[in-house]
Structure 1
Amino acid sequence: MSDPVVPAAHEAFRRKRDLSIRGPQGAVALETTAWISEPTQVEGVPGTWAPSPAGDGLQVTADASDEIVVDGEVVDGAAVVYSHDSMTPSSVRFDDSRTAFVIGPDYNGRFALRVWNADAAEQRGFEGVSTFDFDPGWQKHGTFEPVEGGVAFEYGKSQGGSLRKGVSPGKIRFEHDGAEVELLALPDGDSLQIVFADATTGAETYDVGRFLFVKPRPDGTVEVDFNRAIVPPCAMSEQFNCPLPPAGNRLPFPIEAGEQRPLFAAE
């Protein structure tokens, strides 16, 4: 049997995915996630970082000689760094390779400084992500059933701690080997983020599971293409705290499609 023809759209997806991982603020580049509740110095970067007076991000205090640039201006005194998710997110630059932005607030109202190193992929010997061969059999034609009020579920995080509560806006269904499979998802913009594990998890694929992003159509149909399953960012950097698959998304069969594991020559 000849190998299946790999669609051009899938090859383009793989190229875009590789570039995004290797980018200046790609998953491999994350060096530090520092949650801040009081004035503190963050390892590896200058300045004193503290919660902003208005509670809308962080405030950095530094001299001009520290060469911290916030929103295009060198900090000489104090400057507010607004959260990445705010209406006016701030950008931070420390030098030619290190940049940062602020995330939050978290459940406790804290914000964090995330520091990125554009040279990290080269320094760590990042070689790419291993993948299964493209398999058209894992392009599933499914349905999305909205549920009024959503479907509540609990899930863990890769760095531990108490269980989080999530709400899926509905149920995603597709058939596999003659049986119906049902998945829950977290909202992600105009898409849905499926966090799942299967019989390859911890063996052929990354230990804590994988992600798949889908976009239901207005008629309720949805393409569940596991060839586009990706490893979570915590596979690239321990500074990420990724959601773990909820109980209902832990599938008993192997999904031999999509990404497997990141590859590092130096680790």
Structure 2
Amino acid sequence: MTVTDTFTQDWATWHEEHEKKRASAHGFLAITSIRWLTEEPETYDDVPGAWSTGPEGIVVSLAPGESLIVDGVEVTGRHSFGVIDERGGVTAAFGDAVVEIAKRGGNDIIRPRHPDNPVLVGYRGTEAYAPDPRWAVPGRFVAYDTPVPTTVGSVVDGLEHVYEAVGEIEFEVGGAVHSLIAFPGFAPGSLHVLFVDQTSGRTTYAANRSLSVDAPDLDGNVIVDFNRATNLPCAYTDHATCPLPPAGNRLPVAVEAGEKLP
């Protein structure tokens, strides 16, 4: 097997797992609504209870006959989920559905997730560019002395997110050096990049593209594998609060790699 064959097979395995996670029964394709909570309790047709928020955090008042499963325990009546941290969240179950209880952009929200949601049921996968080793670009991570709080916009008008930028990744494409501001990734030491390029709004999603980068080595070396650029939830549902890229993360080249428009 050649290096290219191995590269293609590794990519295919990775993308298959990514698609499985995306199309899971309670993934973001299952979201039926996003509710912005206020101090006034409100009921909704896709989740039990009357929901509100206040000084003690998110509260649900369940009517007789209604219940939720929270941490494996059935709750009835009035239940407080407490104050949720920014970008944090918990999940409660009811029937074959769940409800995400979270905070985004300083706002308390709930998002019911139903496995029979038509967006999920009708999902047939996301097309991607053919994997190409030339788009697995060597780069170098230059860390900031201290993390820099960085405010970015959101696909929701008026909503903002604040992330800690930890440095920049420098790399060469098309004979020119480019850089992308990086945030902490999900795995320890890894990096996360949000960007757009000259394919955005044409063959790829217009608002943002997401890319995970493995932890740099001791010299700061990384591989920026654009073949693994993915769509965020906002490419599929209106019930998302996805961040936009930092102002500097707009590449003047067409990155013809990774996932395309859904």
Moved more, 119-128 or 185-194: 119-128
SS at match of 1:261: coil
Distance between the aligned counterparts of 1:84 and 1:18, measured in 2?
29
Residue 119 of structure 1 corresponds to which residue in structure 2?
116
Cα-to-partner distance string for 1:85-119 (whole Å, 9 max, x where unaligned) = 69x964311222x2112112643xx4211211122
SS at match of 1:8: helix
- Per-residue deviation, 1:70: 2.5
- Per-residue deviation, 1:52: 6.2
Task: Name the aligned partner's letter for residue 212 of structure 2.
Answer: F
SS at match of 2:227: helix
Question: Would the alpha carbon gap of residues 171 and 135 (structure 1) be closer, same or farther in structure 2, given more than 3 Å must change?
Answer: same
Residue 36 of structure 2 corresponds to which residue in structure 1?
35
Question: What does residue range 76-155 of structure 1 map to in structure 2 within 5 Å?
Answer: 76-81=76-81, 90-96=90-96, 98-104=97-103, 106-107=105-106, 110-120=107-117, 124-151=121-148, 153-155=150-152
Distance between the aligned counterparts of 1:68 and 1:152, measured in 2?
37
* Mapped contact 1:234–1:240 kept (Cα < 8 A): yes
Q: Which stretches in structure 2 are left out of the alignment for 5+ residues? A: none
SS at match of 2:126: strand
- Per-residue deviation, 1:149: 2.3
Residue 265 of structure 1 corresponds to which residue in structure 2?
none
* Mapped contact 1:81–1:91 kept (Cα < 8 A): no
Cα-to-partner distance string for 1:175-230 (whole Å, 9 max, x where unaligned) = 11222111002223333221111111101111212100112324111111000000
Residue 63 of structure 1 corresponds to which residue in structure 2?
63
SS at match of 2:261: strand
Residue 241 of structure 1 corresponds to which residue in structure 2?
241
Distance between the aligned counterparts of 2:129 and 2:181, measured in 1?
24
Distance between the aligned counterparts of 2:131 and 2:201, measured in 1?
21
Moved more, 136-145 or 24-33: 24-33
Distance between the aligned counterparts of 1:177 and 1:78, measured in 2?
60
**Equivalent position to 2:50, from 36, 44, 48:** 48
- Per-residue deviation, 1:47: 0.7
SS at match of 2:21: helix
Aligned alpha-carbon RMSD (Å): 2.7
Distance between the aligned counterparts of 2:104 and 2:197, measured in 1?
32
Residue 24 of structure 1 corresponds to which residue in structure 2?
25
Question: Would the alpha carbon gap of residues 175 and 121 (structure 1) be closer, same or farther in structure 2, given more than 3 Å must change?
Answer: farther
Task: Name the aligned partner's letter for residue 34 of structure 1.
Answer: R
* Mapped contact 2:168–2:181 kept (Cα < 8 A): yes
SS at match of 1:10: helix
Question: Would the alpha carbon gap of residues 127 and 121 (structure 1) be closer, same or farther in structure 2, given more than 3 Å must change?
Answer: farther
Deviating above 6 A after TM superposition, structure 1's stretches of 4 or more consecutive aligned residues are none
Distance between the aligned counterparts of 1:46 and 1:166, measured in 2?
33
- Equivalenced residues, count: 255
Q: Using structure 1 for the length normalisation, give the TM-score.
A: 0.85
Question: Would the alpha carbon gap of residues 141 and 165 (structure 1) be closer, same or farther in structure 2, given more than 3 Å must change?
Answer: same
Task: Name the aligned partner's letter for residue 28 of structure 2.
Answer: A
* Mapped contact 2:197–2:250 kept (Cα < 8 A): yes
Distance between the aligned counterparts of 1:123 and 1:27, measured in 2?
8
Distance between the aligned counterparts of 1:153 and 1:92, measured in 2?
32
Distance between the aligned counterparts of 1:75 and 1:152, measured in 2?
39
SS at match of 1:32: coil
Q: Percent identity?
A: 31
Distance between the aligned counterparts of 2:199 and 2:114, measured in 1?
32
Residue 13 of structure 1 corresponds to which residue in structure 2?
14
**Equivalent position to 1:182, from 179, 182, 187:** 179
Distance between the aligned counterparts of 1:257 and 1:45, measured in 2?
39
Task: Name the aligned partner's letter for residue 194 of structure 1.
Answer: V
Q: Which stretches in structure 1 are left out of the alignment for 5+ residues? A: 263-267
